[in-house]
Amino acid sequence: MAIVYLEYNFKIKPLQPATDILIAELGDAGFESFVETDEGLLAYILKEEWKEGLLDDLFAMQHPDFEITWTNTEIEQQNWNAEWEKNFHPIQVGGRCMVRAPFHDPIHVEYDIVIEPKMSFGTGHHETTHMMLQHILDHKFEGKSVLDMGCGTGVLAILAMKKGATPVEAIDIDEWCVINSLENIERNDCASIQVEQGTSELLVGRKYDIILANINRNILLDDIPVYANCLNEGGALFLSGFYLQDLDAISLKCATHGLEFEKKLEKNNWVSAKYVN
């Protein structure tokens, strides 16, 4: 039985900051994947997750300074490739890492990562993924045990392993993300990465040197106590998926659980922060 998604085509004026706000809100509402366009945004949600009035109370939809209109259509999972191929261009991070699709020609970089995102989030194009990749490039990973929480395409786990991390685990709540991560892990010769479907409940009794979590503000605030308990002494927690205005709340929750803010990256009001114990 084919998995059916609803594709929402949003026309947005002005594009920013309305698009970023809408992506954050749609993510909280159950939308799984986003493609920014010249006129706005394509957003995807499982048909079975859709419910009447889903968009009615979103801040972005009600804001007097934003003009947002939309149409929607059904799209089967296997049709996603044609859509993202039209919009997916290779990116470089820090001059050292390239994230590209299988149909892109490689160039000489230290870390060449091939990602076929399908319906999963995390190609490196969104600011949060890009900044998390920057953090990984800047941090020592050799011989470190790593968790990629909310792994999406598995791109963060893949770069961590390419930098020498071992063992590496990846977890996502969404079945399709798990399947996609496994495909990308095999594609990048990182088959020893362990992928599981689930939530932070899986983490009881586990320990890591480094935890990567690019999710969203509310889930991070709920799960920071779990992450803190799972970090080995001298460990590092890298968080993203929230705005600059949320940083104080994230940092306060981390501090409450023995994690000290060390540094942050900012891009278009999105933030990725590093905490240590």
Long-range contacts of 61-65 (CB under 8 A, 24+ apart): 61/22, 63/18, 63/21, 65/14, 65/18
Question: Residue 167, preceding bond cis, omega within 30 degrees?
Answer: yes
In the three-class reduction of DSSP (H, G, I as helix; E, B as strand; rest coil), residue 22 is classed as: helix
Q: Is 216 annotated as a binding residue?
A: no
Q: Is 150 annotated as a binding residue?
A: yes
Q: Is 81 annotated as a binding residue?
A: no
Q: Could you tell me if 113 and 155 are in contact, meaning their C-beta atoms sit under 8 angstroms apart?
A: yes
Residue 185, token pair as written in the block: 């892990």
Report the C-alpha gap between 157 and 194 in whole angstroms.
10
Q: Is 82 left (phi over 0), alpha (psi -120 to 50) or beta?
A: alpha
Helices (H), 103-241: 127-138, 155-162, 175-187, 217-230
Q: Could you tell me if 97 and 106 are in contact, meaning their C-beta atoms sit under 8 angstroms apart?
A: no
Q: Is 184 annotated as a binding residue?
A: no
Nearest CA among 257, 94, 230 for reference residue 149: 230
Report the C-alpha gap between 240 and 242 in whole angstroms.
6
Q: Could you tell me if 7 and 44 are in contact, meaning their C-beta atoms sit under 8 angstroms apart?
A: yes
Edge-to-edge strand ranges of the sheet holding 67-76: 33-36, 40-46, 4-13, 67-76
Residue 149, token pair as written in the block: 């929480």
Annotated binding site for S-adenosyl-L-methionine: 129, 150, 172, 214
Annotated binding site: 129, 150, 172, 214
